[in-house]
Amino acid sequence: MSRRVRLVLFVVVAPVFAVLFFLATRGLPGFGSEFHPYGDRAVAVATGQRATANVVSSVNFDQRGVDTLGEEFILFGSVIGTVVLLRPAPGEREVGRRGAGRVLPTTRLAGYLLLPVTVLVGLYVIAHGQLSPGGGFQGGVVLATGWHLLYIAGRYAALRRAAPPTVLEIVESIGAAAFAAIGLAGLVIGGAFLVNFLPVGSFNDLLSGGTVPLLNGAVGVAVAAAIVLLLSGFLEQAVVLRRTEEPLAGSSIIAEEPLAGSSIIAEEPLAGSSIGAEEPIAGSSIIADGTEQR
Amino acid sequence: MMLLIFLALGLVAVTGTVVALTQQPARQAVTLSVFGLTLSILFMTVQAPDVALSQLAIGTAVVPLMIMLTIQKVGGPR
Amino acid sequence: MTTLPYLVAGWLFLVGCYGLVTSRNLVHTVACLTVAQSATYVLLLAVGFRAGATAPVFGDIPVGTRVVDPVVQALSLTDIVVSATVTAVLLALTIQIHKRHGTVDPDELRALRD
């Protein structure tokens, strides 16, 4: 379909949608109405027998936990898809991050100062998901973005060394599996999948809500690992990998290889195995970092 | 309170339109980030702090960043 | 006045679709898709709003206070995170398309049409 055909189709269909949608909104309860049967029931259950102060968390992780399990596995599947799609293609190789040393000292300082604060905030948001706005989804994203402050501070190599993709993939799987395992434990102990089988504790207590804090933690781990994996995949594609013009040729051993001292080992990624190749380049760029810091 | 909600709604409608009509992807990443911010303001005003928090982290930071990185890869010098 | 927020949601969806249709760049397409998708958040939260009520978090307020609908908030909350990962898949696909075909203009991708 060319752009013209698409536009014609849109011009035909959009007014139909607009009219139908307008008619549909006439049938909805008005904005700000008092008619919320599901909401009222969810609030009654959450504040009553489940002792969960944040009703949104109660809905997400307790009353509609199976739904969140589904979302969790959409997340998992998308991350796998992205990681697979963003593998270094044959003919691509890592080039040195020559700009890495040019981070302003103030930026570096800000990154280092903000990193512990952000990680703490992320953990806080995850841990208090049953009490205050927040939870595994939000806290996980905060954790992941905090992690990338290391990148802003110019320590890409340190970032990769501290959390290699393989480790992150395992962490991500553990998070998703923990959610399912807690659900199965509910099946064994409570007789139904994802049933809240733990004592709910007293209302507005840090350990209230039964399985809600546990599931929040599992989701927090999974989401944090997922976002770090996604962002590092895109960072690698955009910043590190470059297409070499002579693909896969054996003669490329003499190709310009300014950063890595041991260029013969570094050439091997062209054959397809990128894991072995990342170490020497990363190592050499740390040295480069160190020299530029002085 | 209602006034704030309708103000935020207006902002969301305008910034959303700007995002869709921005043709250059690099500029669009910026407008998309602003759109995400107005969305999270709207969510705050309709008493959804959980959703606002998640929108703030995802919509104003993660998604525009991924788009910027993709532009860098796709549109930048090879 | 009582349907205006719903109409804003409809408008966002349509304007996002318009962006999708007229797109000349797959990255632009993905960004427009997120605009169309955000219509669902606006619609859900508008349906769940209750005038003069507070957030459904009873950490600081007594139980029994009038609150807005928490169910739709839970729905849109997970929706936002999942939409980010779906956006990531689409952007990764865009990068792959660029690697294989050398272009991200949907009209130039003849190989996909054949």
The pLDDT tens digits for C18-55 are 999 999 899 999 999 999 999 999 999 999 999 989 99
* Residue B68 pLDDT greater than 60, yes or no: yes
**Which of B3, B74, B78 is most worth mutating to test chain C (most C CB atoms within 10 A of its CB)?**
B74
Query: Average pLDDT in the A95-102 region?
Result: 58
Task: Write the DSSP string, C34-52.
Answer: HHHHHHHHHHHHHHH-BTT
Query: Quick one: tokens of B63?
Result: 């998604």
Contact residues on chain A for B61, CB-CB shorter than 8 A: 141, 145
Report helix, strand or coil for A110: helix
Structure letter (DSSP) for residue A249 = -
Percentage above 70 pLDDT, chain A: 80
How many helices and strands (H and E) does chain B possess?
Answer: 4, 0
Contact residues on chain C for B66, CB-CB shorter than 8 A: 87-88, 91
Structure letter (DSSP) for residue A250 = G
Model confidence band, residue A12 (pLDDT cutoffs 50, 70, 90): very high
Q: Please tell me which of the candidates A56, A79, A81 has its beta carbon nearest to residue C74.
A: A56
Q: Please tell me which of the candidates A137, A231, A243 has its beta carbon nearest to residue B65.
A: A231
Q: Please tell me which of the candidates A31, A64, A230 has its beta carbon nearest to residue C88.
A: A230
Q: Which of residues 74-103 of A touch C (CB under 8 A)?
A: 74-75, 78-79, 81-82, 85-86, 89
Q: Which residue has the tokens 């596995």?
A: A73
* Residue C7 pLDDT greater than 90, yes or no: yes
Is B21's Cβ below 8 Å from some Cβ in C?
yes
ipTM of the complex: 0.90
Query: Quick one: tokens of A277?
Result: 């190749």
Do A234 and B70 count as a contact with CB atoms less than 8 A apart? yes
Q: Please tell me which of the candidates C1, C13, C82 has its beta carbon nearest to residue A74.
A: C82
Q: Which residue has the tokens 């020559």?
A: A98
d(CA A208, CA A201): 5
Q: Please tell me the predicted confidence (pLDDT) of residue B78.
A: 38
d(CA A270, CA A180): 39
Q: What residues pair up with C54 in beta bridges, in sequence order?
A: C67
Is C112's Cβ below 8 Å from some Cβ in A?
no
Range name among A132-141, A154-163, A270-279, C80-89 with the lowest pLDDT average: A270-279
Model confidence band, residue A87 (pLDDT cutoffs 50, 70, 90): confident
Contact residues on chain C for A34, CB-CB shorter than 8 A: 50
pTM: predicted TM-score of the whole model, two decimal places: 0.83
Query: Average pLDDT in the B58-71 region?
Result: 91
Query: Quick one: tokens of A147?
Result: 């992690």
pLDDT tens column, A113-151: 999 999 999 999 999 999 999 889 999 999 998 888 888
- Residue A140: closest CA among A57, A59, A235, A216: A216
Do B54 and A242 count as a contact with CB atoms less than 8 A apart? no
Report helix, strand or coil for A243: strand
d(CA B4, CA A163): 43
Neighbours of A179 (CB within 10 A): 27
Q: Please tell me the predicted confidence (pLDDT) of residue C113.
A: 57
What's the CA angle centered on B23, arms B22 and B29, to 5 degrees?
60
Model confidence band, residue A23 (pLDDT cutoffs 50, 70, 90): very high
Q: Please tell me the predicted confidence (pLDDT) of residue C70.
A: 94
Q: Please tell me which of the candidates C51, C57, C85 has its beta carbon nearest to residue A54.
A: C57
Range name among A80-84, A190-194, A288-292, C78-82 with the lowest pLDDT average: A288-292
* Largest CA-CA distance found in chain C, in angstroms, rounded: 64
Do A238 and B73 count as a contact with CB atoms less than 8 A apart? yes
- HSE-up of C108 (CA within 13 Å, CB side)? 11
d(CA A230, CA A127): 24
Who's near B39: CB < 8 A, 6+ residues apart?
B12, B55, B59, C38, C41, C42
Do C94 and B74 count as a contact with CB atoms less than 8 A apart? yes
Is the separation of the CB atoms in B53 and A138 below 8 Å?
Answer: yes
Do A238 and B50 count as a contact with CB atoms less than 8 A apart? no
Query: Average pLDDT in the A32-60 region?
Result: 91
Who wins on pLDDT, A153 or A254?
Answer: A153
CA distance A284 to chain C (A): 28
Report helix, strand or coil for C24: coil
Q: Could you tell me the CA-to-CA distances from A104 to A141, A264, A284, C91 in Å, in that order? A: 26, 33, 21, 30
